[in-house]
Chain A
């Protein structure tokens, strides 16, 4: 398959990754080659097979719907690149 640079630009935008226009053709080619791997899936007879999302789905345990977290706001905010007044700080969103 082939992927055009416009598609790469759209995917990069969805993934919030920057795209250097000069690198776009090479990335398009790499993506196409990785996705070509998936071509084997298209050729396999898999119609009607129930998808398997999770290897041990039937054995998942339930837990009580109880609050177990303590207030660790200070410890968590201390990890942030920028935090003020007990809140994460980011650039202005609305002009």
Chain B
């Protein structure tokens, strides 16, 4: 079984291995699993240099010397950052993202950049200029998206953790599809500085790892106030490690009936209900709750996210950086052809939807109305959290689907996010943990907590993982 962060840190301290050896082994595994297409760029030189700097700095629970990978949405100084787009195929950032700085400051060793849906727009990691990512449990299936490369790299045992981003489920949904643990913190808890923007009021950096404990170590290093991100919250970090051992006695878990709706496969619902029964055995009380506006989450998300995307992606104009078309005849021609050549089909679709929703005469009917829906969705959570400590349900309605199965129908793809997007609209923290299998494919249980209650979320996930072994299951190589 692949080692946990705690085990690797212990091995480093005991000099059973070295950071350079760990980095080399992770790079070798990444190359051996090139079939997964999980990486866009491997950074061997950078990894070995960081590993050498990490030597002698090891401590229990520290990330010093631990290999990992960054989703290719985080700007890395001197290392190509593509966002899986032709637009940024040759973009080498002149600075590091806040998350990248934080992990570098603790001497964690990035071995490279993971594949994803272009500009984080997608739920299958098939919308990549660099080709689709494969699910390590079944290479004919998708790993989920948009952080699919990160999820596949962790699930295949290439790295113990990887960074991701979650605007509508892009950490939790691939974590569920790949049988690993995925944490989306509270909006504002982790810096967005240098994280390429998709939908700014929803985008949130997160972590994909093999356990809640490993997520805890990474969150402790990643999180914190960053004055360069105006939406970063100036609030002291909790001691996530100290609170991890909090038991489930007296914890009330709300079962949101809306999350077990018609589209949820029976095998997924059964695995999640069995996991919830385990929670009861561990001392939690299950309470039925309702989120009556849950059905508005997908409509609100698919107005707000494209609207913000159309604005954010206006910066890609072929002038200051990114792809420029050959022989532009005029400035207008330069803009239009550079964008036409640089963006893929789903990115263009969302830009058009967003442009429409924001255009004169439609703003009130679409964007403003979606923001009103956002308010009632957030209020539903506030009401539910008056009765319960956590809310639970299936992370996704189905297990991982086949490659190509939903690419022809954007709306079928959007439905994969039905249980995850509301969390982003409300800005709450949530985690997906392995809860069992259906059709031999992993099923994820989603736990949602009130804003800034990451400690409660991580403890609840850790208690479950201390009593079960779903999170230790690994796909056959």
Which A residues are closer than 8 A to B by beta carbons? 3, 7-8, 11-12, 14-18, 27, 30-31, 33-35, 37-42, 44, 46, 49-56, 59-61, 63, 72, 75-76, 78-82, 88, 90-93
CB of B82, distance to nearest CB on chain A (Å): 13
User: Are A44 and B373 neighbours in the complex by a CB distance under 8 Å?
Assistant: yes
> How many A-B Cβ pairs are below 8 Å?
175
Evaluate contact between A34 and B321: CB separation under 8 angstroms: no
Chain A nearest CB from B407 CB (Å) reads 13
Partner of B94, one of A7, A79, A81, A93: A79
Given A14-B359, A42-B365, does the pair A52, B334 have CB atoms closer than 8 Å? no
C-alpha spacing A78/B356, complex, angstroms: 35
Q: Which residue of A lies closest to B202 (CB)?
A: A55
Task: Check B369–A46 contact: CB distance below 8 A.
Answer: yes
With A16-B317, A56-B233: A41-B411 Cβ-Cβ less than 8 Å: no
Point out residues on B near A: beta carbons under 8 Å: 91-92, 94, 186-188, 201, 225, 227, 230-235, 293, 295-296, 298-300, 302-303, 306, 310, 314, 317-324, 328-337, 339-340, 343, 348-349, 351-353, 355-357, 359, 365-366, 368-376, 378, 410-411, 414, 425-428, 451
How far, in Å, is B188 (CB) from chain A's closest CB? 4
Contact B334 A91 (CB under 8 A): yes
Tell me whether A38 and B299 are in contact (CB under 8 A): yes
Contact partner, B411, options A16, A17, A33, A61, Cβ 8 Å: A33
A31 adjacent to B353 (CB under 8 Å):
yes
Q: Are B372 and A90 in contact (CB under 8 A)?
A: no
A51 near B328 (CB under 8 angstroms)?
no
- What's the Cα separation between A35 and B230 when bound, in Å? 31
Chain B residues with CB under 8 A of A42: 365, 369
Chain A residues with Cβ under 8 A from B295's Cβ? Answer: 40
A60 near B230 with CB under 8 A, answer yes
Given A30-B410, A38-B303, A50-B372 in contact, is the A17-B348 Cβ separation under 8 Å? yes
